[in-house]
Amino acid sequence: MKRQSTIFAALLALTCFVTSGSIASANDDSPGLLGGPFGSMYARSDQDDARDAVRSGQYISMEQALSTVRSRFPGRLLDAGFNRNAGIYNIKMLSEGEVLLVAVDARSGSIMNVRRGGR
């Protein structure tokens, strides 16, 4: 019984130690990490970066990029994402039975590259 009490106390102390470290790091100002309503952590996403850049006027919005692509390649949107390192919207479309991967410059809104037959 004493051994179980010792193990329980050790686990409780470890839990308190780990939890206090998580709460402390949730409250620091680490770039790229944000604390949630319950102290949980999540990394900034590409979507967060794109939204901030659009608000500041550096980049066009995803909707503007999609509009540009749809005007040239009508069809169904399959996927869209933002590459923050390159400043490029990557848009996957199904147009006239063919899958297209379209790269759009997020600053100018111009189509930079079109790859056909992507997955």
pLDDT tens digits for range 11-49: 555 455 444 444 444 444 445 555 555 555 666 776 777
pLDDT reported for residue 99 = 96
Residue labelled with tokens 């659009």: 54
Tens of pLDDT, residue by residue over 91-102, are 999 999 999 999
90 versus 52: the higher-pLDDT residue is 90
Residue labelled with tokens 């189509």: 111
Q: What angle do CA 20, 24, 29 make, to 5 degrees?
A: 165
119 versus 46: the higher-pLDDT residue is 46
Tokens describing residue 34: 């944000």
pLDDT reported for residue 5 = 57
Query: Who's near 105: CB < 8 A, 6+ residues apart?
Result: 87, 88, 111, 112
Fold of 59-116: Nuclear Transport Factor 2; Chain: A, (3.10.450)
Share of the chain above pLDDT 90, in %: 45
3-state helix vs strand vs coil in the chain, percent to 5: 40, 30, 30
pLDDT reported for residue 21 = 47
Give the domain ranges of the chain.
Answer: 2-43, 59-116
